[in-house]
Amino acid sequence: MWQAVARGPEVEIVVDGRPVRVFEGETVAAALLAEGRRALRTTDLRGEPRGLYCGIGVCFDCVMTIDGQPGVRTCQTPVRDGMRVETQAGVGTWRVVS
């Protein structure tokens, strides 16, 4: 039998410099999907868009740069208030986040 799950409190993350309201308990990928966003990164060689594919942490198609760390699987990463999320180009680059 299907059972509703209570949403966590609303928090804010920053996606490519833009504030986005999300709910604690959601993954980054789920929150961005709910925002209508499909492309999360671009491929290294051709710059083609990639997004959520397996949703279970296996394919790595959903990786983004989170708080300066590239290659983070957004389907496995819960949102956190103040988190900084960036579209990742290729393998991404490390950044120091203050």
Site for ligand FES (CB under 6 A): which residue of 14, 34, 39, 58?
Answer: 58
75 lies in the binding site for ligand FES (CB under 6 A): yes
31 lies in the site for ligand FES, by CB under 6 A: no
- Return d(Cα 83, Cα 50) in angstroms, integer: 21
Q: Exposure string (b/e) for 45-77, b if CB count within 10 Å is 16 or more?
A: eeeeebebeeeeeeeebbbbbbeeebebbbbeb
- Among positions 11, 60, 84, 87, the unique one binding ligand FES when judged by CB under 6 A: 60
One-character DSSP codes across 25-68: TSBHHHHHHHTT----EE-TTT--EE--SSSSSSS-TTEEEETT
Q: How far is the CB of 77 from ligand FES (least distance, A)?
A: 9
23 near ligand FES, rule: CB under 6 A: no
Window of 3-11, 17-25, 55-63, 83-91 that interacts with ligand FES by CB under 6 A: 55-63
Q: Does 59 bind ligand FES (CB under 6 A)?
A: yes
| Binding footprint of ligand FES on the chain (CB under 6 A) | 52-55, 57-62, 73, 75
